[in-house]
Amino acid sequence: MDLAGNTAHGMVPAHKPQGLARWLFATNHKDIGSMYLWFAFCMFLVGGVLALCIRAELFSPGLQFFQPELFNQLTTLHGLIMVFGAIMPAFTGLANWMLPLMIGAPDMAFARMNNWSFWLLPPAMTLLLLSFIVPGGAAAAGWTLYAPLSVQLGMGMDLTIFAIHILGISSIMGAINIVVTIINLRAPGMRMMNMPMFAWASLITAYLIIAVMPVLAGAVTMVLTDRHFGSHFFNAAGGGDPILYQHVFWFFGHPEVYIMALPAFGIVSQVIPTFARKPLFGYSSMVYATSSIGVLSFMVWAHHMFVTGMPATAQLFFMYATMLIAVPTGVKVFNWIATMWQGSMSFETPMLFAIGFILLFTIGGLSGVTLSVAAVDVQLHGSYYVVAHFHYVLVAGALFSLFSAVYYWFPKMTGRMYVERLGQLHFWWSLLWFNVTFFPMHFLGLAGMPRRIPDYALQFTDFNRIASIGAFMFGLGQLIFLLNILYSLRHGKAAPQQPWEGANTLEWQIPTPAPYHSFNPPPQLETAENGVVLSMREGGQG
Amino acid sequence: MSCLRLCGISAIWFALHSTAVQGETAAFNLQAPATSLARLEYDLHSMLLWVTGLIFLLVSGVMLFAIVRHRKSRAYRARTFHENTTVEIIWTVIPLLILLAIAWPATRAVLSQKSTHGEDMTIRITGYQWKWRYDYLDDNFGFVSHLSTPRTATAAGAARPEHYLLEVDEPLVLPTGRKVRLLLTANDVIHSWWVPQLGVKQDAIPGFLRDAWFMVDKPGIYRGQCSELCGKDHGFMPIVVDARSPEDYARWRDARLKQAAAAADDPARVWTLAALRQRGETVYGQNCLPCHQASGKGIPGNFPALDGSPVVNGDKAAHLHIVFYGSQRNPAMQAWGKQLSDTDIAAVITYERNAWGNHSGQVIQPAEIHALRGSSG
């Protein structure tokens, strides 16, 4: 096995296990990363189909396709699957694939635990999907699973609770792996304050996951014991408090928002400098801004609860703290634009999605400022305005950044180029129909349409129609992406080692496609801010 | 360009916002305010819309400029600068100042929403799955308000009334120009009482009391909905407030009090099967139908059928017990003893035992429910 060290920079020729065993017993970060990404995409399609069911029902007033109890199950599972099945695993998959390549590590720190954290996902999602066919159907309390409603529901709720426990264990193990890899396995010369922003964002995200996933586990466990073991955490008659659930849930839930947003910031901070052919502006302020968003995310949870009847002082505290988040978030947006300013930009698909991200995420951020003002939130809370707001942040934010990342790193992962024209079509199609779907929801919310209702008053018809048409077209457009990937995997043009002129981080210094084993032993690096590699020498025996 | 299109959309939004608002159906903006609170919220939102809109235009404008000018296809040579402390301080401080400017009126609005003291009258609002109960605490009467749109109107292709899903059998009648304090609670799960034009949204939480207030400017019908997911019929528990001049209100209240006294049922009255069955059908329609359905077939897996049910066709004591005390196993079956009168419970049980395929011929008299109530203390 003394292949290491024979080839330049520890690029060991592939000698990988074959067949099912390669995937079932995978310990290679690239294999596990690929499984994460494919799994996340499948779940994205499943969650998307649920969303289309919702939009089909809401195309017209009246109950056309689904009775209210099933409709509530659809909204609940759409949310849970997209958050825990699609967005989070996709980011973990990218981190798995790219982090070792970007910081010069041979693999993730705990390769076997890595296998386990992936393979926990399929059973958890199976539990969630199975819950549709148990008596009483799936959980129908919204993805927030508020007690006491979640205490009332059938056994689908129990399956959901167990699924969340398993998903939480998976996320925590994945996060520990990311933290340890970044802290311990950086190649010599890759200083923390020179790391790529994607690594910084993944690191801070991982800490958030470790901090809050146990809190969510606690919340749903209390629901479980209230349901079956006679406790009264959320029952006032037994000395409990229904609002306690919301406090515990949102102490998880708000950092969770940033768990889905910070890695997106990281991706965009890699993509923009590459295609602007100019270093990232304000690297250290980016690091500090990301960290302070991470810290502030723990202090704002009750802005999700402005209409529960908090005292004025609490409303004011959470309002001020929430408004404050706009400052570091603004710094990030300004830094990206300053990076683009006087660059030499070209607009390949990853760049298009990154620009679309900045533009639409800014809208989501600004509607967030509007929502943070407690007195205005009284009108907007629980309305379609909130639905519009968080889809601008999660679809145009997290999802667009994921598309950007996949197009960006596809050549390095597979050794082939994607079809650029299809990529551009995918972007413009998604951008158009995303806005057609979600922009009218602002109007619906302002005009007084509550979220999570299967049927609505007649004055809401027009915008619901537009949103439904947009949703179906948006969904259709994602098949362009799938087609592009499937075609390019086999027939794409061979990619050079360096497909993007302006890319200068470590992953572009190794052959394309990335060899099965890389950086073993790690190289000696000289680096600059944001992971830029100035020089690389072959490392000693690691 | 995406930026152009979005700017266009924002411009349309602004234009519509400034012109099309004041009508009854404002499709692009908050509904026309009818209380001082709603006006406060409306103005604050307009201010935020301008501030955030301008920021968006500025940010996207600068980005658009760079996209057009600083591109490789125009052979623009990239500079290499990557920091500038002065600029970074400026764009940290300016947003802070903007936020401070927003925080001042925002704080005043929160404080005025929260000042519920000095009320002229108090209404207790109780959320139930899936209806609202209003109690006029000063006058000691109350009633339950149900959705009045017929269930058949939800079918695909059915004719839908003008106020589809936003109409009730008994609206909350209130005087204008009086400060009304609301005390909100719930019976089962969390509900939320939202009437946009009145500027009030407040969760109703089981086991706790929360308060809110408003004072309606002028007479009118104001419609709203439950805005916290509360189970199956969350979308079917609207709110209608009928605001009248203080004189009209006083007339309504006096009539209502007289009517309540006259309609009080004598618990000792002995009813015939037909009379009780007829009344029971109404009670069933208002309370039981959402789950057990008009057909009595329930919803398999969720809510049991009553048609042919062993409880409904068996010993009446068990039937009485589950209706009166609710079900331990399935919390969706509430303890109706706390909500309905003796006569209503007797009527609905009689109806259930003599409807669909159930033909027991049994009549349950209000006195039997009265006795149960006595024994349960």
Prediction ipTM score? 0.91
Distance separating alpha carbons of residues A467 and B66, to the nearest angstrom:
32
Q: Work out the angle at residue A211's Cα, subtended by the Cα atoms of residues A224 and A194, and round it to the nearest 5 degrees.
A: 155
Distance separating alpha carbons of residues A106 and A99, to the nearest angstrom:
10
Chain A residue at shortest CA distance from B166: A457
For chain A, what percent of residues have pLDDT higher than 90?
94
Residues of B48-60 as b/e, b for ≥16 C-beta within 10 angstroms?
Answer: bbebbbebbbebb
Q: Is the predicted pLDDT of residue A496 greater than 70, yes or no?
A: yes
Of A278, A334, A439, Cβ closest to residue B79: A278
Which pLDDT score is estimated for A9?
Answer: 57
Instruction: State pTM to two decimals.
Output: 0.89
Give yes or no: A191 in active site.
no
- Per DSSP, the residues of A441-482 read HHHHHHHTPBSS-SS--GGGHHHHHHHHHHHHHHHHHHHHHH
8 Å CB contact between A96 and A179: no
Indicate the Cα dihedral angle B172, B173, B176, B182, nearest 10°: -40
Mean pLDDT for the stretch of residues A410-425: 97
Question: Chain A partners of B76 at a C-beta cutoff of 8 Å?
Answer: 342-345
More confident residue, A449 or B287: A449
**Which two structure tokens, joined as six digits, stand for B258?**
């007289």
Q: Is the predicted pLDDT of residue B359 greater than 50, yes or no?
A: yes
A494 phi and psi angles, rounded to 5 deg: -65, 135
Active-site position among A29, A31, A92, A107: A107
Residues 447-486 of A with CB under 8 A from B: 447-448, 450-459, 462-463
Q: Work out the angle at residue B179's Cα, subtended by the Cα atoms of residues B143 and B204, and round it to the nearest 5 degrees.
A: 50
First to last CA, chain B: 73
pLDDT tens-digit map of B46-77: 999 999 999 999 999 999 999 999 999 999 99
Distance separating alpha carbons of residues B288 and B304, to the nearest angstrom:
11
Strands B238-244 and B172-175: parallel
A528: contact with B, CB 8 A cutoff: no
Q: Place A3 in a pLDDT band, splitting at 50, 70 and 90.
A: very low
Q: Is the predicted pLDDT of residue B9 greater than 80, yes or no?
A: no
Chain B residue at shortest CA distance from A57: B156
Distance separating alpha carbons of residues A397 and A354, to the nearest angstrom:
9
Give yes or no: A170 in active site.
yes
Chain A residue at shortest CA distance from B43: A376
Interface probe for B, chosen from A157, A304, A355, A453 (most Cβ of B below 10 Å), is A453
Which pLDDT score is estimated for B87?
Answer: 94
Which pLDDT score is estimated for A6?
Answer: 42
Active-site position among A9, A30, A78, A442: A78
8 Å CB contact between B48 and A370: yes
Type of residue found at A71: F
In Å, what is the CA distance from A367 to each residue of A342, A380, B95, B238?
29, 11, 15, 27
Chain B residue at shortest CA distance from A360: B6
8 Å CB contact between A407 and A480: no
Least confident of A272-286, A440-454, B84-98, B290-304: B290-304
Query: What mean pLDDT is reported for chain A?
Result: 94
Which pLDDT score is estimated for A417?
Answer: 97
Distance separating alpha carbons of residues A542 and A344, to the nearest angstrom:
39
Mean pLDDT for the stretch of residues B286-313: 87
Of A67, A149, A431, Cβ closest to residue B189: A149
Give yes or no: A76 in active site.
no
Query: Which pairs with CB-CB distance under 8 Å and at least 24 residues apart come from A220-228?
Result: A220/A145, A220/A160, A220/A161, A220/A164, A220/A165, A221/A161, A221/A165, A222/A147, A222/A248, A223/A145, A223/A147, A223/A150, A223/A151, A223/A157, A223/A161, A224/A158, A224/A161, A226/A147, A226/A148, A226/A151, A227/A151, A227/A157, A227/A158, A228/A158
Q: Is the predicted pLDDT of residue B110 greater than 90, yes or no?
A: yes
How far apart are the CA of A493 and the nearest CA of chain B, in angstroms?
23
Q: Is the predicted pLDDT of residue A434 greater than 60, yes or no?
A: yes
Specify the length of chain A in residues: 542
A293: contact with B, CB 8 A cutoff: no
Give yes or no: A412 in active site.
no
* Peptide bond just before A513 cis, omega within 30 deg: yes
How far apart are the CA of A202 and the nearest CA of chain B, in angstroms?
23
Distance separating alpha carbons of residues A127 and A215, to the nearest angstrom:
21
- Per DSSP, the residues of A136-186 read T-S--STTTT-TTHHHHS-THHHHHHHHHHHHHHHHHHHHHHHHHHHHH-P
Which pLDDT score is estimated for A118?
Answer: 97
Cβ B211–A383 below 8 Å, yes or no?
no
Give yes or no: A297 in active site.
no
Which pLDDT score is estimated for B243?
Answer: 97
Q: Is the predicted pLDDT of residue B192 greater than 60, yes or no?
A: yes
8 Å CB contact between A326 and A365: yes
Tell me which residue of B360, B162, B340, B333 sits closest to B267, measured CA to CA.
B340
Q: Work out the angle at residue B249's Cα, subtended by the Cα atoms of residues B245 and B253, and round it to the nearest 5 degrees.
A: 175
Give yes or no: A171 in active site.
yes
Which pLDDT score is estimated for B18?
Answer: 44
Cβ A450–B225 below 8 Å, yes or no?
yes
Distance separating alpha carbons of residues B289 and A7, to the nearest angstrom:
76
Cβ A285–B88 below 8 Å, yes or no?
yes
Q: Is the predicted pLDDT of residue A4 greater than 80, yes or no?
A: no
How far apart are the CA of A275 and the nearest CA of chain B, in angstroms?
9
Distance of CA B206 to the CA centre of its chain: 15
Chain B residue at shortest CA distance from A455: B235
**Residue A199 neighbours by CB under 8 Å, 6+ apart:** A99, A102, A103, A182, A266, A531
How far apart are the CA of A117 and the nearest CA of chain B, in angstroms?
33
- Per DSSP, the residues of B291-311 read HH-TTS--BTTTB---TT-HH
Question: Chain B partners of A63 at a C-beta cutoff of 8 Å?
Answer: 154-156
Least confident of A76-85, B126-135, B345-354: B345-354
Chain B residue at shortest CA distance from A464: B27
**Which two structure tokens, joined as six digits, stand for A160?**
């959901």
**Alpha helix segments (H runs only) across A26-155:** 29-57, 68-80, 88-103, 111-119, 121-130, 149-152
Mean pLDDT for the stretch of residues B297-324: 88
State the CB neighbour count (10 A cutoff) for residue B257.
14
Distance of CA A218 to the CA centre of its chain: 22
Question: Chain B partners of A78 at a C-beta cutoff of 8 Å?
Answer: none
Chain A residue at shortest CA distance from B71: A345
Mean pLDDT for the stretch of residues A526-531: 94
Q: Is the predicted pLDDT of residue B12 greater than 70, yes or no?
A: no
Q: Place B367 in a pLDDT band, splitting at 50, 70 and 90.
A: confident
Q: Is the predicted pLDDT of residue A1 greater than 50, yes or no?
A: no
pLDDT tens-digit map of A204-251: 999 999 999 999 999 999 999 999 999 999 999 899 999 999 999 999
Q: Place A2 in a pLDDT band, splitting at 50, 70 and 90.
A: very low
Distance separating alpha carbons of residues A86 and A81, to the nearest angstrom:
6
Chain A residue at shortest CA distance from B161: A458
Mean pLDDT for the stretch of residues B126-147: 94
Active-site position among A304, A389, A416, A442: A304
Q: Place B370 in a pLDDT band, splitting at 50, 70 and 90.
A: confident
The DSSP 8-state label assigned to residue A522 in this structure reads P
Of A148, A382, A462, Cβ closest to residue B227: A382
Residues of A62-75 as b/e, b for ≥16 C-beta within 10 angstroms?
Answer: bbbebebbbbbbbb
Question: Chain A partners of B55 at a C-beta cutoff of 8 Å?
Answer: 366
Question: Chain A partners of B211 at a C-beta cutoff of 8 Å?
Answer: 309
Distance separating alpha carbons of residues A153 and B276, to the nearest angstrom:
33
Distance of CA B310 to the CA centre of its chain: 36
Cβ B228–A382 below 8 Å, yes or no?
yes
Q: Is the predicted pLDDT of residue B7 greater than 60, yes or no?
A: no
Give yes or no: A144 in active site.
no
Least confident of A66-70, A127-131, A534-538: A534-538
Give yes or no: A78 in active site.
yes
Active-site position among A55, A227, A332, A391: A332
Give yes or no: A507 in active site.
no
How far apart are the CA of B246 and the nearest CA of chain A, in angstroms?
27
Of A312, A381, A455, Cβ closest to residue B201: A381
Active-site position among A75, A92, A131, A170: A170
Positive/negative CA dihedral, A332, A333, A334, A336: positive
Cβ B71–A367 below 8 Å, yes or no?
no
Mean pLDDT for the stretch of residues A415-422: 97
A356: contact with B, CB 8 A cutoff: yes
Of A152, A311, A370, Cβ closest to residue B331: A152
Chain B residue at shortest CA distance from A243: B205
Mean pLDDT for the stretch of residues B163-179: 96
Of B6, B48, B205, Cβ closest to residue A369: B48
Q: Place A370 in a pLDDT band, splitting at 50, 70 and 90.
A: very high
Q: Is the predicted pLDDT of residue A69 greater than 80, yes or no?
A: yes
Type of residue found at A384: Y
Indicate the Cα dihedral angle B25, A462, A452, A392, nearest 10°: -100
A66: contact with B, CB 8 A cutoff: no
Distance separating alpha carbons of residues A249 and A323, to the nearest angstrom:
21
Q: Is the predicted pLDDT of residue A7 greater than 60, yes or no?
A: no
Positive/negative CA dihedral, A159, A160, A164, A170: positive
Positive/negative CA dihedral, A305, A310, A316, A317: negative
Question: Chain A partners of B202 at a C-beta cutoff of 8 Å?
Answer: 307, 309
Q: Is the predicted pLDDT of residue A13 greater than 70, yes or no?
A: no
Q: Place B20 in a pLDDT band, splitting at 50, 70 and 90.
A: very low
Which pLDDT score is estimated for B24?
Answer: 43
Of B60, B78, B111, Cβ closest to residue A359: B60
A136: contact with B, CB 8 A cutoff: yes
* Peptide bond just before B130 cis, omega within 30 deg: yes
Q: Is the predicted pLDDT of residue A12 greater than 70, yes or no?
A: no
Least confident of A24-33, A79-88, A92-101, B24-33: B24-33
**Which two structure tokens, joined as six digits, stand for A226?**
């209230």
Least confident of A286-290, B171-175, B303-307: B303-307
Give SS3 for A83. helix
Distance separating alpha carbons of residues A88 and A216, to the nearest angstrom:
15
Cβ B164–A72 below 8 Å, yes or no?
no
Q: Is the predicted pLDDT of residue A175 greater than 60, yes or no?
A: yes
Q: Place A510 in a pLDDT band, splitting at 50, 70 and 90.
A: very high
Q: Is the predicted pLDDT of residue B229 greater than 50, yes or no?
A: yes
State the CB neighbour count (10 A cutoff) for residue A42.
15
Distance separating alpha carbons of residues A461 and A457, to the nearest angstrom:
8
Strands (E), B220-322: 220-226, 238-244
Mean pLDDT for the stretch of residues B197-215: 96
